[in-house]
Amino acid sequence: MEQSGTYDDMKGVIGSLISLWVGIERTVEKLDDAAPRQAGDESFPTSVSSRLDHWQRRVQADEGNRPFRASLARRLRQQLREAQKIRNGICHGLQGIAAANREQPGRICWRINGIELSRTWDEMQAHFAWLSKVAFALEILEEGDMSCFARLHDSEENREWWRAEYGIDLPEPEPWKRFVGKLPTLRGGA
């Protein structure tokens, strides 16, 4: 069985990381450019981080009508901040790569702000599996069309779907909120 994390595999981690982030950046740029502008909104965000922040604010502006969607957007943005730290670390502070051997897996190492960090081949593959889905999650949450995307309704099934598909873990709702909209109404009398 061939070992994962060879020197060439680890070099490929850098290319994969950049490629996935280019896809995320293009998606958020497309969504941001298509969004209606407010009067006096002259400055357009240019960095991926500022565009993602702008996207989150835009989605959360409708929080009163769609709180589950806003919660998902907030959590996705938090997760992307952590993912950006990995991207920025590797792109701006790469220290080296090590191929797998009998004692240890392949590893990529970087240094940011005096802190040395690293990830193994398997950790990066899991990270890429998640990153590869982010652009679609951004589009779903941007669209916000409740009829098209039933996954934007707050239910246990949808919370599990977002957790399984996108790794978005939300805190459990208050117990009483589970029954809002599900209580029978009284007809006639009283």
Q: Report pLDDT digits (tens) over 91-115.
A: 999 999 999 999 999 999 999 999 9
Answer yes or no: is pLDDT of 148 > 80: no
Q: pLDDT-derived band of residue 172, with 50, 70 and 90 as boundaries? A: confident
Number of domains in the chain: 1
Structural domain includes residue 186: no
Q: Which domain holds residue 127?
A: 7-35+45-177
Q: pLDDT-derived band of residue 56, with 50, 70 and 90 as boundaries? A: very high
What integer pLDDT is reported at residue 153 of this predicted model?
A: 85
Structural domain includes residue 185: no
pTM of the full structure: 0.81
Structural domain includes residue 2: no
Its sign, for the CA torsion 134, 139, 144, 150, is negative
Give the separation between CA 86 and CA 70, rounded to whole angstroms. Answer: 25
